[in-house]
Amino acid sequence: MSPRSTPGPGVTPRTALTIAGSDSGGGAGVQADLKTFLACGVHGMSAITAVTVQNSLGVSGFHEIPAETVRDQVRVVTTDIGANAVKTGMLASAGIIEAVAGTCDELGIGRAAEIPLVVDPVAASMHGDSLLADSALGAVREVLLPRATLTTPNLDEVRLLTGVEVTRRADLRKAAEAVLALGPRWVLIKAGHLAADSDCVDLLVGAGGEVIELPGPRHPTEHTHGGGDTLAAAVTAALAQGRDLVDAVRVGKRYIMRAVAAAYPLGGGVGPVSAFWRVSDVPW
């Protein structure tokens, strides 16, 4: 992503909205999304769905925001400021998913609408801690994914959503087709957890039959907290700037490769991917 995407002084930037949970450790969730939006040159807005209690060691609890409050957050920012693209992350419950879906329909957000919707179907943290009520998985399949312009599941989320187990790169196409059958326009299967591969090849597949491999290096670091959020947020920012979807996904892939390469240790557990690589030295 070029620094030319950053707006000049006094110029109103393009806007992106994240609908997701708050990470008290600052590495994932809304915090990761807003950092990524800024680094990618768009103004970030947020609708908080849940407050998590977490640090680098894991999630010890979360508290949902009432569904009507989530709905109202989305409505007030989009009707006043507007949103050029929208991303969802942790939605926590079926009630929140249904409220978000209804509000997106009302505001022209989603697969068949003017404003693109990127769905990161967050079900669990990288430590395996659940971030989605069991009863909500059906709502992701039946209510959220049919409205998605793009969805970005990792391999665990593919298994939870479709039952397809990915153990080798050859399984990615089958996984993508199983997710596409749930209704999104595009699916990006994130293969970072396919540790048997020496590199990291994600697969982008469209409902129109498009198949695009996105290769990248596998960096020798365990500090990848917030990587999925960051990739989806970078894609959302690129869509907000008017890029077509394939180009936006390529931008997101380039961004996350740099963010993982710049990842750092934090606390006693897993550190986050980093937006610092986009920060220039500034004379204070």
Residue 10, domain member (yes or no): no
Q: Return the CATH number at 219.
A: 3.40.1190.20
The least confident of 97-101, 169-173, 189-193 is 189-193
Bigger pLDDT: 8 vs 104: 104
Q: What is the pTM of this model?
A: 0.93
Residue 3, domain member (yes or no): no
pLDDT at 146 over 70: yes
Residue range 255-266: average pLDDT? 95
Q: Provide the domain count of the chain.
A: 1
pLDDT at 1: 44
Average pLDDT of every residue of the chain: 91
Residue 8, domain member (yes or no): no
- The domain in which residue 188 lies consists of 15-276
pLDDT at 125: 56
Q: What is the three-state SS of the chain? A: CCHHHCCCCCCCCCEEEEEEEECCCCCCHHHHHHHHHHHCCCEEEEEEEEEEEEECCEEEEEEECCHHHHHHHHHHHHHHCCCCEEEECCCECHHHHHHHHHHHHHHCECCCCCECEEECCCCECCCCCECECHHHHHHHHHHHHHHCCEECCEHHHHHHHHCCCCCCHHHHHHHHHHHHCCCCCEEEEECCCCCCCCECCEEEEECCCCEEEECCECCCCCCCECHHHHHHHHHHHHHHCCCCHHHHHHHHHHHHHHHHHCCCCCCCCCCECCCHHHCCCCCC
Residue 119, domain member (yes or no): yes
Residue 1, domain member (yes or no): no
Residue 4, domain member (yes or no): no
Residue range 65-77: average pLDDT? 98
Q: pLDDT above 70 covers what percent of the chain?
A: 92
Residue 281, domain member (yes or no): no
pLDDT at 124: 59
